[in-house]
A and B are shown apart, each in its own frame.
Chain A
Amino acid sequence: MSTPRSEAVAAMAPLVEMRAVTKRFRVRRGAFHTTEIAAVSEVDLGLPRGTAVGLVGESGCGKSTVARLILRLLDPTAGSIRFDGTDITTLAEAGLRPLRRRMQLIHQNPSAALNPRMTAFASIAEPLVVQEGARGGVLVERVAALMAEVGLPGEFLHRYPHEMSGGQRQRVCIARALALGPSLVVLDEPTSALDVSVQAQILEFLQSLRSGHGLTYLFISHNLAVVRQVCDRVAVMYLGRIVEEGPADAVLSAPLHPYAQALLAAVPRLRQGGVLPSVAGDPPNPASPPSGCAFHPRCRFAEARCRTERPDLVAGGDGERRVACHAVAEGRI
């Protein structure tokens, strides 16, 4: 039986849905060799509307590649990506353009993201001019409204990036991202370049922005405390794969996957002196990933099966989350 999808059902569907998305890069090894690196492997991830989904993991785990795939700044090697019901996996640039305004990116380093020769006004006005052809008094009014929304006083309108602090620059970037009324904002380490006292202001502001505009966030960070503060759900990545995904409170208070446990335990806590290394060794080289579960060489729960057979990301624990671990599936954790 087929019925037209009701609007209610459409509203329930996630804004973004990644299905088995893989991205491989060719890299040169020496003068004559190229080899393939799987930066992202078979990632299944949904971003429910109006929620903030955190993506955490250590450098090189593929979190930024996932962000760029969702924004179609990179073309996936395999799998499919849907944005608001539209399959954007292979959509041509002309078809993507109307969607581009609905997805925005905020970078880690606001100083590098802003053109040093453009004033705050010029930076924020640019998307309005390019996408909507806004000009004159209307343009000035809209930019002024955006500046007010991100809490920058009018005198900043004609300032250049070097005349602003890091936090103020990040506010300009946020205003520019908001200009076209996006549904999805991808934040790639938005506060890592900021001091902690400024970070607190920006995080608070990002949260009020999300509830005010009904935005959906993909929030990439290596700072688990920040993710816990901002996000509803969180996905932990290791070597290109999601190893655990679920509600942020559950995953970040009682992680199931041994890597997620190690990551959480390694965070130095304020009111507890000393630190115990939770896991030995370094993340492996993506050019020669370990067999079976990629984490097995560093995992204290590893058994024979972990060395040969890759665990699938399946429902585990309370049923609210997905975990890719044999030990969890077998009830050993």
Chain B
Amino acid sequence: MSLLEIADYRLAFDTFDGTHHVLDGIDLALDAGETLGIVGETGCGKSVLAKSLLRLNECPPARVVSGAIRFKDQDLLTLDARAMRSLRGRAIAMVFQDPASFLNPVLGIGAQMTDAICGQDGAQPGGRRRSRREAARMAAELLASVGLPEPERILASYPHQLSGGMRQRVLIAMALAGKPALLVADEPTTALDVTVQAQVLALISDLVRSRGLALILISHDLGVISAACARVAVMYAGTIVEEAPTQALLAAPYHPYARGLIGAVPDLDRPGSRPRGIPGSIPSLLFPPSGCRFHPRCPRASGRCGVEKPLLRGIAPGRRVACHHPEGA
């Protein structure tokens, strides 16, 4: 059985303008220890999907229209608030894009980490609350495990005294405090410089391996996904259009949007290959296109694409695509 299973999950946002159909029938599964990247452009719903796993989308305006998100045996969408709280951080932990905004600027790192660790204990029914001293020792161990030298000095620092890369390591350490089975990282390196990004990606890959973590990595950057994830799901306008082993997708995408996305990335090692844009722009989710949401921009679209929504179906071993006219088929 999968660790995580998302089935026909639909989420809408009710606003003054009307209802935005942000996620439209997401189907996805993840096994323990697996690494999955979710890639897509601005507004495709990848962050909303990530937050859904911890039920962090504010309802309202968000509204679950249908579907289920199962983690182990529990349906996360029907869990009561208390049970959900004990799951956050201990079963599923999350790391966000901008490490600076997830640390309290007027509290020391030590206080924030021990708070997080003791808070985990409190959320655990019948759990024993650790003493501050025990928690501080554990915090130092966690900092060492994410490759921060001199943990004691870091614990005594304030966020502004740390670099962006160090702050992101601190947040990763805090995410590990509850020994989660699944780490959800939403653009964890986007705010970082490229040399520091490489360090943090290597750290995440190490942790995934050494702790047997499952990883969902959200990114707009196919290079980042390729560096850290064995499998990738491509999202467009609230739907998953293709899912495949990362290298297989990059070598031969089936979905025209996936192909367009890959073709738009400039290749550092092949300056001669001219990246091509995708004509048109992303659709409004207030009035999404009928049928396949990509059909107005698609070079392969037929009449059928405008009326019939393509389902995500298996097309080759380990590969699924939602397209009536996939490439090379």
* A interface residues (Cβ-Cβ under 8 A, vs B): 58-59, 165-168, 195-204, 222-226, 228-229, 249, 252-253, 262-280, 282-283
Contact = CB atoms under 8 A, between A and B. Distances in A.
7 contacts: A228-B268, A252-B268, A252-B271, A269-B223, A270-B262, A275-B198, A283-B193
Contact of B220 (A167, A168, A195): A195
Contacts of B268: 224-225, 228, 252, 264, 267, 269
Contacts of A223: 266
A268 B193 CA distance: 12
Contacts of B223: 267-270
Contacts of B228: 275
B230 to A, nearest CB: 8
Given A267-B194, A270-B223, A282 B281 contact: no
Contacts of B222: 270
| Contact-residue size bin, chain B (C-beta under 8 Å from the other chain) | 35 or more
B198 A277 contact: yes
Interface in B190-242: 193-199, 201-202, 205, 220-224, 226-228, 230
A274 B205 contact: yes
Interface in B110-167: 163-166
Considering residues B193, B194, B202, which has the most beta carbons from chain A within 10 angstroms of its beta carbon? B194
B261 to A, nearest CB: 6
Contacts of A204: 274-277
Nearest to A193: B42
Interface string B87-125: 000000000000000000000000000000000000000
B274 A225 contact: no
B247 A165 contact: no
B194 A196 contact: no
Contacts, number: 134
Interface of B: 41-42, 163-166, 193-199, 201-202, 205, 220-224, 226-228, 230, 246-247, 250-251, 260-269, 271, 274-279, 281-282
A165 B260 CA distance: 19
B264 to A, nearest CB: 4
Nearest to A248: B271
Considering residues A59, A268, A280, A282, which has the most beta carbons from chain B within 10 angstroms of its beta carbon? A268
B251 to A, nearest CB: 7
Contacts of A266: 194-195, 197-198
Nearest to A298: B195
Contacts of B247: 271, 273
B36 to A, nearest CB: 14
Given A252-B271, A282-B196, 17 more contacts: A58-B195, A167-B281, A196-B264, A199-B264, A200-B266, A203-B266, A204-B276, A223-B266, A225-B267, A225-B268, A266-B197, A270-B223, A270-B262, A275-B198, A277-B195, A280-B199, A283-B193
A282 B165 contact: yes
A292 to B, nearest CB: 20
Contact of A228 (B193, B224, B271): B271
A202 to B, nearest CB: 8
Considering residues A58, A195, A266, A269, which has the most beta carbons from chain B within 10 angstroms of its beta carbon? A195
A196 B201 CA distance: 21
A273 B226 contact: yes
A264 B198 CA distance: 11
A268 B227 CA distance: 6
Contact of A198 (B221, B266, B277): B277
B278 A271 contact: no
A228 B197 CA distance: 20
A270 B163 CA distance: 27
Contacts of A280: 199
A278 B199 CA distance: 8
A224 B198 CA distance: 14
A152 B279 CA distance: 13
A226 B194 CA distance: 14
B271 A268 contact: no
Contact of B277 (A201, A265, A274, A283): A201
Given A268-B224, A268-B227, A59 B193 contact: yes
Nearest 5 pairs of A and B residues by beta carbon = A201-B277, A268-B223, A58-B193, A200-B277, A275-B227
A166 B193 CA distance: 23
A153 to B, nearest CB: 13
A197 to B, nearest CB: 4
A228 B266 CA distance: 9
B271 A276 contact: no
Nearest to B194: A266
Nearest to B280: A197
A278 B264 contact: no
A271 B222 CA distance: 10
Contacts of B276: 200, 204
A198 B194 CA distance: 22
Nearest to A194: B42
A196 B41 contact: yes
Contact of B266 (A201, A225, A263, A277): A225
A196 B261 contact: yes
Contacts of A58: 193-196
B226 A268 contact: yes
Nearest to A191: B266
B66 to A, nearest CB: 29
A275 B227 CA distance: 5
